[in-house]
Amino acid sequence: MEKKNDFGTDEQIVKEVLLGRTEGFKIIIERYQKRIFCIGMRFYNNEDDSYDFTQEVFIKTFESLGSYAGRAPFRFWLTKIAYNHAINRINAKKLESEIPDQIRSEEKTPEATHMRGEICDILMEALTQLPRQYRICVDLFFFLGLTYYEIHEITGYPVNTIKSNVLRAKKILRDELKGTIAEDYHEL
């Protein structure tokens, strides 16, 4: 579903920007900066790098607006730019990812906090060992909450391949976590 409010849909705003009313691009930034920043955090595990990444993605998007054909919703096109930019940066430098906050425990006792920290570290290590195509699918599906179709639009992977990658990644993670304190973690 396309974003719409008093300023119009994303596609309407893009048309206005392409006609020279570039101040409308600020609306696009406001709508999607959290999403792009979140993608940056998944790839870089660092706020400073993620802020830089977010700025780079919006600059790239602005410069590429003329190539937006409107075949898919704008948000998919923008997310694909972010995803491709992150992959390109990873090829130059190995980066780590962050386990999302929802994995962290609600309990605040020192023992529970320590245990959750260890589980997160073990899970993080297991995630970093996944083959890249599996990890991408897991990140986009579980941590960004995208559907298989949305992942297809972003990565170009066939939907059935995405489903297979997620299932295979879950099996690999279960096998990797056997015998660890994270073995019984069933969120994935």
CATH, residue 29: 1.10.1740.10
How many Cα neighbours within 13 Å face the side chain of 50?
A: 18
In 3-state terms the chain splits into helix, strand, coil percentages (rounded to 5) of 70, 0, 30
From 31, 61, 92, the end of a domain falls on 92
Residues 29 and 88 in one domain: yes
Q: Is 20 exposed, middle or buried (0-12, 13-18, 19+ CB in 10 A)?
A: exposed
Classify burial at 115, counting beta carbons within 10 Å of its beta carbon; exposed 0-12, middle 13-18, buried 19 or more. middle
* 2 within some domain: no
Say what the pLDDT of residue 185 is: 58
Average pLDDT, integer, range 154-167: 90
Q: Do 19 and 77 fall within a single domain?
A: yes
Indicate the average pLDDT of the chain: 80
Task: Tell me, yes or no, whether 82 and 23 share the same domain.
Answer: yes
- The DSSP 8-state label assigned to residue 143 in this structure reads I
For residues 15 and 39, state if they share a domain. Answer: yes
Residue 77 placed within a domain: yes
pLDDT bucket at 62, cuts 50 / 70 / 90: very high
Q: How far apart are CA 156 and CA 140, in angstroms?
A: 13
| Pair 58, 78 in one domain | yes
Structure tokens at 186: 């069933």
- 70 and 19 assigned to the same domain: yes
Give a yes or no: residue 45 inside a domain.
yes
Same domain flag for 126 and 72: no
SS3 assignment for 74-124: HHHHHHHHHHHHHHHHHHHCCCCCCCCHHHCCCCCCHHHHHHHHHHHHHHH
| CATH number of domain containing 128 | 1.10.10.10
Domain of 126, in residue numbers: 102-177
Is the whole model's pTM more than 0.75, yes or no?
Answer: no
Q: What are 129-140's pLDDT values in tens digits? A: 888 888 888 888
Which residue's entry shows tokens 């006609």?
19
The count of structural domains within the chain is 2
